[in-house]
Chain A
Amino acid sequence: MKARSIKYLTGEGIKNVWVNRLMSIASVGVLMACMVLIGIAVIIGQNVNRAMVGLEKQNVVMVYFNDYNSVMYPIDFDADDEMIDPSTITDDMYVVHNDEEGKAVAEKIEKLDNIAEVEYFTKEEDMQRFEDKKISNITDDVNFCSCGAKVTLKDLSRFDETIEGIEKVEGVYHISSSDETAEIISAIKDGLGTAGIWIIAILLIISLVIVCNTIRVTMYNRKLEISIMKAVGATDAFVRLPFVVEGILLGLISAILSEVVVYFCYRVMLETFIPSIMGATMPVSFASAALPIFGLFVAIGVVSGVIGSVIMISKYLRREGSEFKAYN
């Protein structure tokens, strides 16, 4: 197709938006409703994600090493159990004999995948941490704690595999973790992700149906024009282009207006419920979210505009468009 034809048809497409202005307003309105819902879902999702990151940071696993105390006071040690005779414990019964060896084990853990931070602690430091939770039959002057490391994970969704990896490190005796918290946070994140995808998918389909409908109405309004176009030798692409331009334009107008509406909605949300879900974490600023959301809107508008118009006009041209007498 010649450049001047493209220019002419683009102009025709723009003109059509005005000529069919009632239908255009209706389409923009419904498209906007979809886009605003998507925008709000995205921006709430971003805030929840940020809040989750804050929660994740608090999620730390305590890894205890296989030292003398781990043999002397095993994890399943109970108050009624008989104490092990210390003279029976030999050096080869445990791996970590001093802090240097303990730090070496911590370094090995640090090198594993999905580890954000490892902080080594001595058995004395751990004892200090436990001072309020002493086991009843252990006297104050006895340190039953083991040395170990405070390990922070990067991605909680990979919790199980990471723990498995830590367990395999030589010198690791026991891992104390709040895996329930990890599971809950992970489930919330997964749930939000899945719900978000479904919401966006459904709204995308609705947008597509709306654009298809607008194009169909426009097309039937312009049957005469199409029949004349075909009679004077217009190609399918020539007939199709103004509709595609019209679809894209409706999508773009909807995207711009939706961005404005989402901005005002977010301002209201910031004053109402967003702070309560964020806790101590700062909410996402609209400025940082605006560009990705606008990009998403434009993509939705353009994709639904192009696909909608191509589907509808191709269907029409295949069925009856080549028979320009079908107008009668």
Chain B
Amino acid sequence: MRVINTNTQVPGYEQPLIEFRGVSKTYIGGTHALSDVNLKINKGEFVFVVGSSGAGKSTFMKLIMREEKANVGEVIVNGYNLSTMKRKQVPMLRRTMGIVFQDFRLIPNMNVFENVAFAMHVVGAGSRKIRKEVSRALAKVGLGHKARSMPDELSGGEQQRVGLARALVNAPDLIIADEPTGNVDPNMSYEIVGLLDEINKRGTTILMVTHDHNLVRDFNHRVIMLDGGKIVADNAEGSAL
């Protein structure tokens, strides 16, 4: 269900792109993944999410992508109240976001162009628009010349850049990157986050889960630290980590 702006808003106040209001999530079996999480992420922000394994990062991301539903509280993403949203509305929410996976998730029997175009076919884009936007997205990630290559002909870093092109080809408001540097070498990691940084500068909100504290410090964006299902730190600058 899309949340409509109310007239009670202060002029100039911008509705957050992501808002957690007292969110708790307990899985069947009793695992408490998140407890009473409150936070706001505004449009245009670049946010790192850090924390050790089991800290609740995955659940945090799953709630934003509406892969899971909160037991308590409300999650609002891009104007959609995910707590009251019906299952058939989920595709519309996901079309407002681009997702970058740690394991790239490229379709092996499709070439680079087709892998990126695939995301546009899903939203029903026309072939002319697909050709134009896919070429543009591939150029943005520096892979314009590899459009006809198959995924297994690319390095890990190149595959992740294809994944990034696929995430941004539909011009989403939000890009969720789940440890995008987890399977690439350190140099390539900086290149990938550098690309995300550039995309962010053009106005797209970036939410990136990472274990790499060097990246967080060097790119110096807001950092949310989770531990035991709670937000234990929320710093405006990663250098404070």
Q: Most chain-B CB neighbours within 10 Å: which of A4, A227, A231, A323?
A: A231
Specify which chain A residues have a CB less than 8 angstroms from the CB of B99 in the assembled complex.
Answer: 231-232
Interface centre among A4, A225, A230, A233 (most CB of B within 10 A): A233
B21 interface contact, C-beta 8 A: no
Please provide the chain B residues from 69 to 91 with a CB less than 8 Å away from any CB of chain A in the complex.
Answer: 87-88, 90-91
Find out whether the CB atom of A232 lies under 8 angstroms from the CB atom of B105: no
From residue A19, how far is it (CB to closest CB) to chain B in Å? 7
Closest residue to B105 on the A side, CB-wise? A228
- Bound Cα distance from A236 to B90, whole angstroms: 10
Q: B67 contacts A4, CB within 8 Å?
A: no
Whether A234 and B91, one on each chain, are in contact in the complex, defined by CB atoms closer than 8 angstroms, is yes
Which of A2, A238, A322 is within 8 Å of B90, CB to CB?
Answer: A322
Docked complex: B97-111 residues within 8 A CB-CB of A:
98-99, 101, 103, 105, 107, 109
Interface digits, A215-248 against B, CB 8 Å rule (1 contact, 0 not)?
Answer: 0000000001101111111111010000000000
Q: Which of B88, B109, B122, B126 contacts A232 (CB 8 A)?
A: B122
Chain A hits for B118, CB < 8 A? 228-229, 232
| List of B residues within 8 angstroms of A4 by Cβ | 124, 126-127
Shortest CB distance B39–A (Å): 22
B92 interface residue per 8 A CB criterion:
yes
Closest to B166 in A: A232
Interface string of B108-123 (1 = CB under 8 A from A): 0100000000110111
Decide yes or no whether A138 CB sits under 8 A from chain B: no
Q: Are B94 and A230 in contact (CB under 8 A)?
A: yes
Contact in complex: B95, A233 (CB < 8 Å) = yes
Q: Is the interface of A mostly helix, strand, loop or mixed?
A: helix
Minimum distance in angstroms from A97 CB to a CB of chain B? 84
Question: Could you tell me how many residues of chain B have their Cβ less than 8 Å away from some Cβ of chain A?
Answer: 28
Say if the beta carbon of A128 comes within 8 Å of chain B.
no
Assess A325 versus B124: contact at CB under 8 Å? Given A19-B109, A227-B105, A231-B99.
no
CB within 8 Å of B: which A288-328 residues = 322-325, 327-328
Distance A19 CA – B110 CA, assembled complex (angstroms): 12
Bound Cα distance from A236 to B107, whole angstroms: 19
CB of A264 closer than 8 Å to a CB of B: no
Give Cα distance in the complex from A68 to B111, angstroms. Answer: 99
Are A324 and B107 touching (Cβ within 8 A)? no
Complex contacts, B91 vs chain A, CB 8 Å: 230, 233-235
Contact of B122 among A233, A323, A327 (CB under 8 A): A233
A232 touches B67 (CB 8 A): no
Closest Cβ–Cβ distance, residue B207 to chain A (whole Å): 14
Which residues from A are CB-within-8-Å of B92?
233
| Cα–Cα, bound, A224→B105 (Å) | 7
Q: Does A178 contact B (CB under 8 A)?
A: no
Q: Which residues of A contact B2 (CB under 8 A)?
A: none
Task: Compute how far the CA of A232 lies from the CA of B124 in the bound complex, rounded to whole angstroms.
Answer: 12
Contact of B94 with A235 in the complex, beta carbons under 8 Å: no
Determine if A322 and B67 form an interchain contact, defined as CB atoms under 8 angstroms apart.
yes
In the bound assembly, the distance between CA atoms of A296 and B65 in angstroms comes to: 46
CA distance A208 to B37 in the complex (A): 49
Separation in Å of the A327 CB from the closest CB of chain B?
7
30 contacts between A and B (CB under 8 A): A1-B124, A4-B124, A4-B126, A5-B121, A19-B109, A224-B105, A227-B105, A228-B105, A228-B107, A229-B118, A229-B122, A230-B91, A230-B94, A232-B94, A232-B95, A232-B98, A232-B119, A232-B166, A233-B91, A233-B94, A233-B95, A233-B122, A233-B123, A234-B91, A234-B122, A235-B88, A322-B67, A322-B90, A324-B67, A328-B103
Lowest 6 CB-CB distances: which A-B pairs, in order? A233-B95, A233-B94, A2-B124, A232-B119, A233-B91, A234-B122
A-B contacts besides A228-B107, A233-B92, 7 pairs, CB < 8 Å: A4-B124, A4-B126, A5-B121, A228-B119, A230-B91, A230-B94, A232-B94
